[in-house]
Structure 1
Amino acid sequence: MKLVLASSNAGKLEELRELLADTGIELIAQSDLGVDDAEETGATFVENAIIKARHAARLTGLPALADDSGICVDALDGAPGLYSARYAGEHGNASRNIDKLLEALREVPDAQRGAHFYCVLVLLHHAGDPQPLIVEGQWQGRILHARQGQGGHGYDPVFLDPVHGQSAAEMPLPLKNGLSHRGQALAALKQRLAARA
Protein backbone atom coordinates (compact mmCIF):
# COMPACT_ATOMS: atom_id res chain seq x y z
CA MET A 1 0.00 0.00 0.00
CA LYS A 2 1.37 3.40 -1.02
CA LEU A 3 0.44 6.37 1.15
CA VAL A 4 1.35 10.00 0.74
CA LEU A 5 2.30 11.65 4.03
CA ALA A 6 0.59 15.02 4.20
CA SER A 7 3.59 16.75 5.76
CA SER A 8 6.93 18.19 4.75
CA ASN A 9 8.38 17.61 8.24
CA ALA A 10 11.47 15.40 7.78
CA GLY A 11 11.52 14.34 11.46
CA LYS A 12 7.89 13.25 11.31
CA LEU A 13 8.48 11.33 8.06
CA GLU A 14 11.45 9.46 9.55
CA GLU A 15 9.51 8.63 12.72
CA LEU A 16 6.44 7.38 10.84
CA ARG A 17 8.51 5.34 8.36
CA GLU A 18 10.24 3.63 11.29
CA LEU A 19 6.89 2.90 12.94
CA LEU A 20 5.39 1.55 9.70
CA ALA A 21 8.45 -0.53 8.72
CA ASP A 22 6.74 -3.87 9.47
CA THR A 23 3.43 -3.15 7.70
CA GLY A 24 4.26 -3.20 4.00
CA ILE A 25 3.03 0.41 3.76
CA GLU A 26 5.27 2.64 1.67
CA LEU A 27 5.16 6.22 2.90
CA ILE A 28 5.98 8.95 0.37
CA ALA A 29 6.52 12.55 1.49
CA GLN A 30 4.15 14.97 -0.23
CA SER A 31 7.11 17.24 -0.96
CA ASP A 32 8.62 14.43 -3.10
CA LEU A 33 5.49 14.70 -5.25
CA GLY A 34 5.59 18.49 -5.50
CA VAL A 35 2.83 19.13 -2.96
CA ASP A 36 3.11 22.08 -0.57
CA ASP A 37 1.73 22.10 2.97
CA ALA A 38 -1.99 22.81 3.26
CA GLU A 39 -3.12 25.85 5.19
CA GLU A 40 -4.17 24.64 8.64
CA THR A 41 -7.42 26.52 9.23
CA GLY A 42 -9.12 24.00 11.54
CA ALA A 43 -10.08 24.73 15.13
CA THR A 44 -9.04 21.26 16.34
CA PHE A 45 -6.27 18.73 15.71
CA VAL A 46 -8.78 16.45 13.93
CA GLU A 47 -9.97 19.20 11.57
CA ASN A 48 -6.39 20.14 10.66
CA ALA A 49 -5.42 16.52 9.99
CA ILE A 50 -8.43 16.05 7.68
CA ILE A 51 -7.63 19.30 5.82
CA LYS A 52 -4.03 18.15 5.29
CA ALA A 53 -5.00 14.60 4.20
CA ARG A 54 -7.65 15.84 1.72
CA HIS A 55 -5.19 18.34 0.22
CA ALA A 56 -2.49 15.68 -0.31
CA ALA A 57 -4.94 13.06 -1.64
CA ARG A 58 -6.56 15.52 -4.05
CA LEU A 59 -3.23 16.67 -5.52
CA THR A 60 -1.57 13.24 -5.76
CA GLY A 61 -4.46 10.82 -6.38
CA LEU A 62 -3.02 8.59 -3.63
CA PRO A 63 -4.44 7.58 -0.25
CA ALA A 64 -3.15 10.09 2.29
CA LEU A 65 -2.01 9.88 5.89
CA ALA A 66 -1.98 13.10 7.89
CA ASP A 67 -0.83 13.74 11.42
CA ASP A 68 -1.69 16.75 13.49
CA SER A 69 0.00 16.87 16.81
CA GLY A 70 1.25 19.21 19.45
CA ILE A 71 2.19 19.69 23.05
CA CYS A 72 -0.42 20.83 25.56
CA VAL A 73 0.86 22.35 28.81
CA ASP A 74 -1.41 22.33 31.86
CA ALA A 75 -0.14 25.61 33.33
CA LEU A 76 -0.79 27.35 29.98
CA ASP A 77 -4.38 26.07 29.64
CA GLY A 78 -3.34 23.61 26.93
CA ALA A 79 -1.11 25.99 24.93
CA PRO A 80 0.79 25.85 22.65
CA GLY A 81 -1.59 23.06 21.49
CA LEU A 82 -2.67 23.56 17.86
CA TYR A 83 0.00 26.23 17.46
CA SER A 84 2.92 24.10 18.70
CA ALA A 85 4.88 24.26 15.43
CA ARG A 86 4.51 28.04 15.15
CA TYR A 87 4.36 28.98 18.84
CA ALA A 88 7.17 31.55 18.54
CA GLY A 89 5.78 32.95 15.28
CA GLU A 90 7.89 31.15 12.68
CA HIS A 91 6.62 27.73 11.55
CA GLY A 92 8.95 24.88 12.48
CA ASN A 93 11.58 26.83 14.42
CA ALA A 94 11.89 24.30 17.26
CA SER A 95 14.63 26.18 19.10
CA ARG A 96 12.65 29.42 19.30
CA ASN A 97 9.47 27.52 20.24
CA ILE A 98 11.31 25.85 23.13
CA ASP A 99 12.79 29.17 24.26
CA LYS A 100 9.32 30.74 24.33
CA LEU A 101 7.87 27.78 26.26
CA LEU A 102 10.67 27.81 28.85
CA GLU A 103 10.22 31.55 29.30
CA ALA A 104 6.45 31.17 29.76
CA LEU A 105 7.08 28.54 32.47
CA ARG A 106 10.07 30.27 34.11
CA GLU A 107 8.31 30.82 37.47
CA VAL A 108 6.27 27.58 37.39
CA PRO A 109 7.37 24.94 39.95
CA ASP A 110 7.97 21.29 38.98
CA ALA A 111 4.67 20.09 40.44
CA GLN A 112 2.74 22.36 38.07
CA ARG A 113 4.71 21.64 34.87
CA GLY A 114 2.49 18.78 33.67
CA ALA A 115 2.08 18.43 29.91
CA HIS A 116 1.16 15.92 27.28
CA PHE A 117 1.93 15.35 23.64
CA TYR A 118 -1.21 14.67 21.60
CA CYS A 119 -1.44 13.18 18.11
CA VAL A 120 -4.31 12.49 15.76
CA LEU A 121 -3.74 10.49 12.58
CA VAL A 122 -6.21 10.57 9.70
CA LEU A 123 -6.13 8.14 6.78
CA LEU A 124 -8.17 8.99 3.68
CA HIS A 125 -8.46 6.35 0.95
CA HIS A 126 -9.18 9.12 -1.58
CA ALA A 127 -9.78 12.87 -1.48
CA GLY A 128 -13.56 12.50 -1.22
CA ASP A 129 -13.50 9.68 1.36
CA PRO A 130 -16.57 10.31 3.58
CA GLN A 131 -15.28 7.93 6.28
CA PRO A 132 -11.78 8.97 7.27
CA LEU A 133 -10.01 6.55 9.57
CA ILE A 134 -9.20 8.60 12.70
CA VAL A 135 -7.02 7.46 15.61
CA GLU A 136 -5.30 9.31 18.44
CA GLY A 137 -2.53 8.94 20.99
CA GLN A 138 -1.38 10.82 24.07
CA TRP A 139 1.90 10.85 26.04
CA GLN A 140 1.89 12.28 29.57
CA GLY A 141 4.93 13.97 31.05
CA ARG A 142 6.18 17.33 32.23
CA ILE A 143 8.25 20.23 30.98
CA LEU A 144 11.87 20.45 32.13
CA HIS A 145 13.57 23.73 33.10
CA ALA A 146 16.23 23.30 30.39
CA ARG A 147 16.96 21.15 27.35
CA GLN A 148 18.25 17.58 27.89
CA GLY A 149 19.45 15.28 25.11
CA GLN A 150 20.38 15.62 21.44
CA GLY A 151 17.86 13.32 19.73
CA GLY A 152 14.29 13.69 18.60
CA HIS A 153 12.74 16.84 17.20
CA GLY A 154 10.34 19.61 18.19
CA TYR A 155 9.81 19.86 21.96
CA ASP A 156 11.52 16.51 22.73
CA PRO A 157 14.50 18.06 24.60
CA VAL A 158 12.23 19.65 27.23
CA PHE A 159 9.60 16.90 27.57
CA LEU A 160 10.34 14.56 30.49
CA ASP A 161 8.86 11.07 30.66
CA PRO A 162 8.49 10.66 34.45
CA VAL A 163 8.42 6.85 34.30
CA HIS A 164 11.80 6.57 32.55
CA GLY A 165 13.31 9.77 33.96
CA GLN A 166 14.54 10.83 30.53
CA SER A 167 13.61 13.55 28.10
CA ALA A 168 12.15 12.38 24.80
CA ALA A 169 15.40 13.62 23.20
CA GLU A 170 17.51 11.30 25.41
CA MET A 171 15.61 8.11 24.59
CA PRO A 172 16.72 5.52 22.07
CA LEU A 173 14.30 5.65 19.12
CA PRO A 174 12.70 2.23 19.73
CA LEU A 175 11.83 3.21 23.33
CA LYS A 176 10.49 6.61 22.28
CA ASN A 177 8.40 5.09 19.49
CA GLY A 178 6.83 2.65 21.94
CA LEU A 179 5.81 5.43 24.34
CA SER A 180 5.08 8.39 22.12
CA HIS A 181 1.75 9.90 21.19
CA ARG A 182 2.53 9.20 17.52
CA GLY A 183 3.57 5.62 18.29
CA GLN A 184 0.30 5.02 20.17
CA ALA A 185 -1.78 6.54 17.37
CA LEU A 186 0.04 4.46 14.77
CA ALA A 187 -0.44 1.26 16.80
CA ALA A 188 -4.17 2.03 16.85
CA LEU A 189 -4.11 2.70 13.09
CA LYS A 190 -2.40 -0.64 12.43
CA GLN A 191 -5.08 -2.44 14.48
CA ARG A 192 -7.87 -0.71 12.58
CA LEU A 193 -6.27 -1.52 9.20
CA ALA A 194 -5.77 -5.17 10.20
CA ALA A 195 -9.43 -5.39 11.27
CA ARG A 196 -10.53 -4.07 7.87
CA ALA A 197 -8.29 -6.43 5.89
Structure 2
Amino acid sequence: MTAQLVLATHNAHKVEELRRILGSRLDGIELIGYDGPEPVEDGDTFAANALIKARAAAEFTGLPAIADDSGISAAALGGAPGIHSARYAQLNGRPIRDDVENLELLLRNLVGADDRSAEFVCAAALVLPDGYEHVELGIWPGTVLDEAVGGGGFGYDPIFKPAGYSVSAAELTADEKNAVSHRAQAFEAIMPIVRERLLG
Protein backbone atom coordinates (compact mmCIF):
# COMPACT_ATOMS: atom_id res chain seq x y z
CA MET A 1 0.00 0.00 0.00
CA THR A 2 1.32 3.43 -0.97
CA ALA A 3 0.91 6.42 1.34
CA GLN A 4 0.13 9.80 -0.20
CA LEU A 5 2.01 12.94 0.75
CA VAL A 6 1.09 16.39 -0.56
CA LEU A 7 3.95 18.72 -1.46
CA ALA A 8 2.57 22.13 -0.54
CA THR A 9 4.14 24.39 -3.14
CA HIS A 10 3.20 25.94 -6.46
CA ASN A 11 6.89 26.51 -7.26
CA ALA A 12 7.84 24.17 -10.11
CA HIS A 13 11.57 24.57 -9.34
CA LYS A 14 11.03 23.32 -5.78
CA VAL A 15 8.91 20.35 -6.90
CA GLU A 16 11.62 19.23 -9.31
CA GLU A 17 14.42 19.79 -6.81
CA LEU A 18 12.64 17.98 -3.98
CA ARG A 19 11.85 14.93 -6.09
CA ARG A 20 15.59 14.71 -6.85
CA ILE A 21 16.59 15.25 -3.23
CA LEU A 22 14.17 12.74 -1.76
CA GLY A 23 14.70 10.04 -4.40
CA SER A 24 14.58 6.57 -2.84
CA ARG A 25 13.45 8.03 0.49
CA LEU A 26 10.03 8.24 -1.16
CA ASP A 27 9.80 4.45 -1.59
CA GLY A 28 6.27 3.55 -0.51
CA ILE A 29 5.20 7.21 -0.57
CA GLU A 30 3.48 8.93 -3.48
CA LEU A 31 4.45 12.60 -3.59
CA ILE A 32 1.56 14.50 -5.11
CA GLY A 33 1.30 18.08 -6.24
CA TYR A 34 -0.83 20.76 -4.63
CA ASP A 35 -3.22 22.96 -6.60
CA GLY A 36 -5.16 24.45 -3.72
CA PRO A 37 -5.22 28.05 -2.50
CA GLU A 38 -2.00 29.69 -1.36
CA PRO A 39 -2.21 30.82 2.26
CA VAL A 40 -0.95 34.17 3.49
CA GLU A 41 2.59 33.58 4.73
CA ASP A 42 2.57 36.00 7.64
CA GLY A 43 4.83 34.09 10.03
CA ASP A 44 7.93 35.77 11.42
CA THR A 45 10.26 32.78 10.93
CA PHE A 46 10.99 30.26 8.19
CA ALA A 47 9.51 27.54 10.42
CA ALA A 48 6.29 29.47 10.99
CA ASN A 49 5.77 30.03 7.26
CA ALA A 50 6.53 26.41 6.39
CA LEU A 51 3.91 25.30 8.91
CA ILE A 52 1.35 27.76 7.51
CA LYS A 53 1.78 26.25 4.04
CA ALA A 54 1.72 22.64 5.23
CA ARG A 55 -1.36 23.24 7.41
CA ALA A 56 -3.23 24.80 4.49
CA ALA A 57 -2.44 21.88 2.19
CA ALA A 58 -3.33 19.27 4.82
CA GLU A 59 -6.64 21.01 5.53
CA PHE A 60 -7.49 21.46 1.83
CA THR A 61 -6.64 17.88 0.79
CA GLY A 62 -7.26 15.91 3.97
CA LEU A 63 -3.86 14.29 3.41
CA PRO A 64 -0.47 14.51 5.14
CA ALA A 65 1.37 17.53 3.77
CA ILE A 66 4.95 18.66 3.63
CA ALA A 67 6.17 22.17 2.88
CA ASP A 68 9.24 24.30 3.13
CA ASP A 69 10.09 27.94 3.51
CA SER A 70 13.55 29.10 2.62
CA GLY A 71 15.65 32.12 1.84
CA ILE A 72 18.99 33.82 2.22
CA SER A 73 20.14 35.83 5.22
CA ALA A 74 23.04 38.27 4.91
CA ALA A 75 24.94 39.08 8.12
CA ALA A 76 25.68 42.68 7.12
CA LEU A 77 21.96 43.31 6.63
CA GLY A 78 20.91 41.94 9.99
CA GLY A 79 19.67 38.71 8.42
CA ALA A 80 17.77 40.32 5.54
CA PRO A 81 16.23 39.45 3.18
CA GLY A 82 15.45 36.37 5.32
CA ILE A 83 11.78 35.36 5.21
CA HIS A 84 11.20 38.08 2.61
CA SER A 85 13.70 36.55 0.14
CA ALA A 86 11.11 35.55 -2.48
CA ARG A 87 9.57 39.03 -2.54
CA TYR A 88 12.53 41.20 -1.56
CA ALA A 89 12.33 43.64 -4.46
CA GLN A 90 9.44 46.06 -4.91
CA LEU A 91 7.51 47.53 -7.81
CA ASN A 92 5.51 50.68 -7.17
CA GLY A 93 5.94 50.15 -3.45
CA ARG A 94 4.68 46.56 -3.48
CA PRO A 95 6.79 43.40 -3.02
CA ILE A 96 7.22 41.36 -6.19
CA ARG A 97 8.39 37.80 -6.85
CA ASP A 98 11.20 38.27 -9.38
CA ASP A 99 14.46 36.34 -9.01
CA VAL A 100 16.58 38.80 -11.01
CA GLU A 101 15.22 41.90 -9.26
CA ASN A 102 15.65 40.26 -5.84
CA LEU A 103 19.24 39.24 -6.57
CA GLU A 104 20.19 42.67 -7.91
CA LEU A 105 18.66 44.43 -4.91
CA LEU A 106 20.66 42.26 -2.52
CA LEU A 107 23.86 43.05 -4.42
CA ARG A 108 23.10 46.79 -4.30
CA ASN A 109 22.39 46.64 -0.57
CA LEU A 110 25.73 44.93 0.05
CA VAL A 111 27.88 47.40 -1.91
CA GLY A 112 30.74 48.46 0.36
CA ALA A 113 29.92 45.88 3.04
CA ASP A 114 33.01 44.41 4.73
CA ASP A 115 31.11 41.34 5.86
CA ARG A 116 29.63 39.40 2.95
CA SER A 117 28.89 36.24 4.93
CA ALA A 118 25.44 34.80 4.42
CA GLU A 119 23.51 31.60 4.77
CA PHE A 120 20.69 29.87 3.00
CA VAL A 121 18.10 28.64 5.49
CA CYS A 122 15.34 26.09 4.90
CA ALA A 123 12.58 24.96 7.25
CA ALA A 124 10.79 21.76 6.26
CA ALA A 125 7.43 21.14 7.92
CA LEU A 126 5.24 18.05 8.12
CA VAL A 127 1.57 18.42 9.08
CA LEU A 128 -0.86 15.51 9.40
CA PRO A 129 -4.66 15.80 9.30
CA ASP A 130 -4.78 14.61 12.93
CA GLY A 131 -2.90 17.74 14.01
CA TYR A 132 0.61 16.29 14.33
CA GLU A 133 3.32 18.78 13.30
CA HIS A 134 7.09 18.58 13.00
CA VAL A 135 9.73 20.99 11.64
CA GLU A 136 13.40 20.53 10.75
CA LEU A 137 15.92 23.23 9.76
CA GLY A 138 18.77 23.14 7.26
CA ILE A 139 21.48 25.82 7.07
CA TRP A 140 23.98 26.26 4.20
CA PRO A 141 26.67 28.86 5.05
CA GLY A 142 28.66 30.86 2.53
CA THR A 143 29.29 34.34 1.17
CA VAL A 144 27.61 36.68 -1.29
CA LEU A 145 29.65 37.30 -4.43
CA ASP A 146 30.08 40.72 -6.05
CA GLU A 147 28.18 39.63 -9.16
CA ALA A 148 26.12 36.76 -10.51
CA VAL A 149 28.08 33.76 -11.82
CA GLY A 150 26.75 30.58 -13.40
CA GLY A 151 23.56 29.59 -15.18
CA GLY A 152 22.25 26.80 -13.01
CA GLY A 153 20.02 26.75 -9.97
CA PHE A 154 17.51 29.50 -9.30
CA GLY A 155 16.83 32.38 -6.97
CA TYR A 156 19.97 33.69 -5.30
CA ASP A 157 22.16 30.73 -6.38
CA PRO A 158 24.25 32.77 -8.88
CA ILE A 159 25.51 35.16 -6.17
CA PHE A 160 25.99 32.63 -3.34
CA LYS A 161 29.35 30.90 -2.87
CA PRO A 162 28.93 28.02 -0.43
CA ALA A 163 31.55 27.63 2.29
CA GLY A 164 34.29 25.28 1.15
CA TYR A 165 33.62 25.87 -2.56
CA SER A 166 35.33 28.11 -5.11
CA VAL A 167 32.24 28.42 -7.32
CA SER A 168 28.73 29.77 -6.92
CA ALA A 169 25.76 27.54 -6.12
CA ALA A 170 24.62 28.17 -9.70
CA GLU A 171 27.81 26.54 -10.98
CA LEU A 172 27.22 23.31 -9.08
CA THR A 173 25.50 20.42 -10.83
CA ALA A 174 22.02 19.55 -9.57
CA ASP A 175 23.43 16.44 -7.89
CA GLU A 176 26.23 18.40 -6.21
CA LYS A 177 23.82 21.02 -4.91
CA ASN A 178 21.24 18.49 -3.77
CA ALA A 179 23.85 16.68 -1.70
CA VAL A 180 24.69 19.69 0.48
CA SER A 181 22.07 22.44 0.19
CA HIS A 182 19.93 23.85 2.97
CA ARG A 183 16.87 22.22 1.39
CA ALA A 184 18.60 18.84 1.20
CA GLN A 185 19.62 19.08 4.85
CA ALA A 186 16.12 19.99 6.05
CA PHE A 187 14.32 17.33 4.06
CA GLU A 188 16.86 14.61 4.83
CA ALA A 189 16.30 15.40 8.51
CA ILE A 190 12.51 15.28 8.27
CA MET A 191 12.12 12.21 6.02
CA PRO A 192 12.66 9.65 8.83
CA ILE A 193 9.77 11.31 10.68
CA VAL A 194 7.65 11.33 7.52
CA ARG A 195 8.30 7.63 6.90
CA GLU A 196 7.60 6.72 10.51
CA ARG A 197 4.32 8.64 10.58
CA LEU A 198 3.08 7.55 7.15
CA LEU A 199 4.40 4.01 6.91
CA GLY A 200 4.75 2.98 10.56
Scaled by the length of structure 1, the TM-score of the pair is 0.91
1:30-85, CA deviations, whole angstroms, 9 ceiling, x for partnerless residues? 12xxx122110111111111111111111111111010111010000000001000
Q: Tell me whether 1:120 sits opposite 2:87 in the alignment.
A: no
Aligned partner letter, 1:108: A
Runs of 4+ displaced beyond 6 Å: none
Greater shift, 56-65 or 22-31, is seen at 22-31
**CA displacement at 1:147 relative to structure 2:** 0.5
Matched, 1:98 2:103: yes
Matched AA of 2:153: G
The CA distance in 1 between the partners of 2:122 and 2:75, in whole Å, is: 17
Shift of 1:9: 0.8
Q: 1:195 Cα shift? A: 5.6
SS in structure 1 at match of 2:69? strand
- Could you say what secondary structure the match of 2:10 adopts? coil
Q: 1:63 to 1:192 in 2, by over 3 A?
A: closer
- Structural mapping, 1:134-173, within 5 Å: 134-173=135-174
Q: Distance in 2 between matches of 1:94 and 1:49?
A: 20
Which residue does the alignment assign to 1:13? 15
Distance 2:120 2:53 in 1: 20
* Cα root mean square deviation, aligned: 1.5
Deviation larger for 87-96 or 69-78: 87-96
Which residue number in structure 2 is paired with residue 26 of structure 1?
A: 30
Deviation at 1:162, TM superposition (A): 3.2
Distance in 2, Cα, partners of 1:48 & 1:97: 19
CA distance in 1, matches of 2:192, 2:57: 24
2:150 maps to a residue whose letter is: G
In structure 1, what residue type is equivalent to 2:66?
Answer: L
Tell me how far apart the structure 2 counterparts of residues 194 and 11 of structure 1 sit (CA, whole Å).
Answer: 24
Flag the 1:56–1:193 CA change in 2: closer, same or farther, 3 A. Answer: closer
Question: What's the offset of the Cα at 1:149?
Answer: 0.7
Q: Per-residue deviation at 1:165?
A: 1.0
Residue identity opposite 1:103 in structure 2? R
One-letter amino acid matched to 1:17 = R
Larger deviation: 136-145 or 159-168?
Answer: 159-168
CA distance in 1: counterparts of 2:193 and 2:61, whole angstroms: 24
Q: Following the alignment from structure 1 to structure 2, what is the Cα–Cα distance between the partners of residues 63 and 91?
A: 30
5+ residue gaps, structure 2? none
Q: Identify unmatched segments of 5+ residues in structure 1.
A: none
SS of corresponding position for 1:115: strand
- In the alignment of these two chains, the number of paired residues is 190
